[in-house]
Amino acid sequence: MALINQEAKELHCKIVYYGPSLGGKTTNLKWVYRTTHDANPSTSQMHEFETGTPERTRFFDFLPLDVGEIRGLKVRFHLYTVPGQVIYDASRRLILKNLDGIIFVADSQMDRMDENIISLNNMEKNLELSGYDINKIPLVLQYNKRDLQNVASIAELRSALNKFNAPDFEAEAEDGVGVMESLKTLSKSIIAALKSGKV
């Protein structure tokens, strides 16, 4: 749910990166951070929050230059990752609060398909517990690690994971392939939903 800061005349939107452990969520954020920070250092800052677990939750926000304004408000995006392991479910639900859109980062390797499906089902359940309908939230699927051996075909990934018919992208997050495309597509969906009053 987008939040308005009247004093700063800003509209704050929250994007969450969800997916299995070591699937590439943090790698996506690091790429976006480097790209936006290098282009305009004053618009992005990265923060890392220790969760008391072996995994860390990372977050940063930036002000995209090409989004412009909505109703006289500058749009600022806050990007979060969730811990990848299912045992940190309470942290996942907490991070999902007040979200505006979600990018599900799947690991394309065949031997990670079960983990992708478990994580996707967990995301759907946690969204429902948080009061969201996954069919009404801006959603993008990203099939990461396409450069590795033994990856599932895009048709197999779509069949197993994209029952929502959401926009999806092939990615190699280490090299930035598909990273900004995923984010820009989701951002545009969020902006369109805000303008139509659906968010």
- What are the domain boundaries of the chain? 3-196
User: In sequence order, what are the beta bridge partners of 140?
Assistant: 103
How crowded is residue 84: how many other Cβ atoms within 10 Å of its Cβ? 22
Between CA 103 and CA 17 the distance in angstroms is 5
Mean pLDDT of the chain: 85
The class of domain 3-196 in CATH terms is alpha beta
Between CA 98 and CA 96 the distance in angstroms is 6
For 108-148, the pLDDT digits (tens) are 999 999 999 999 999 999 999 999 999 999 999 999 999 99
Q: Is the pLDDT of residue 98 over 60?
A: yes
Q: Which of 23-32, 96-105, 175-184 has the lowest mean pLDDT?
A: 23-32
C-alpha pair distances (Å), 56 with each of 85, 95, 146, 192: 11, 12, 25, 32
Check residues 79 and 70 and name the one with the higher pLDDT. 79
Between CA 108 and CA 148 the distance in angstroms is 8
Residue with tokens 């969204």: 127
How long is the chain? 199
Q: Is the pLDDT of residue 65 over 50?
A: no
